[in-house]
């Protein structure tokens, strides 16, 4: 059985039809794209070196040993600090979960931090 050929050329890491990342060759004789089901012969990968690296972001120290930032940048809102009662807090937002969920808002009191 002859596999269909693509009208595009690409690196063997990517599907020549849709551009998706291809799975690594395994014991099967063909590799199928998980998105469009385009098939490539494993023989096309013979003699190729596959390298991959994983880079992790550095974790910042948390807890009491962390020094607070000298100046809080960001907008101020009229909100009372639950600790010291100071009126006015700065805030920042971060996307903590998936993109289809709202951002998390972190409030910081400029007086007691």
Q: Is 109 annotated as a binding residue?
A: yes
**pTM score, whole prediction:** 0.36
Tens digits of residue pLDDT in 16-39: 888 888 887 777 888 888 889 888
State yes or no: 33 annotated in a binding site.
yes
Residue 18 assigned as binding residue: yes
Q: How far apart are CA 22 and CA 43, in angstroms?
A: 15
Mean pLDDT of the chain: 77
Q: Is 15 annotated among the ligand-binding residues?
A: yes
Closest CA to 110 of 69, 82, 72: 72
């Amino acid at each position: 059985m002859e596999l269909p050929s693509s009208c595009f050329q690409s690196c063997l890491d990517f599907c020549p039809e849709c551009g998706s990342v291809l799975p690594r060759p395994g014991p099967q004789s063909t590799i199928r794209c998980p998105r469009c089901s385009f098939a490539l012969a494993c023989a096309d990968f013979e003699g190729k070196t596959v390298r991959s690296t994983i880079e992790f972001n550095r974790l910042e120290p948390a807890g009491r040993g962390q020094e607070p930032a000298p100046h809080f940048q960001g907008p101020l809102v009229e909100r009372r600090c639950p600790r010291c009662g100071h009126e006015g807090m700065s805030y920042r937002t971060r996307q903590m979960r998936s993109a289809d969920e709202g951002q998390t808002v972190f409030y910081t009191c400029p007086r007691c931090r």
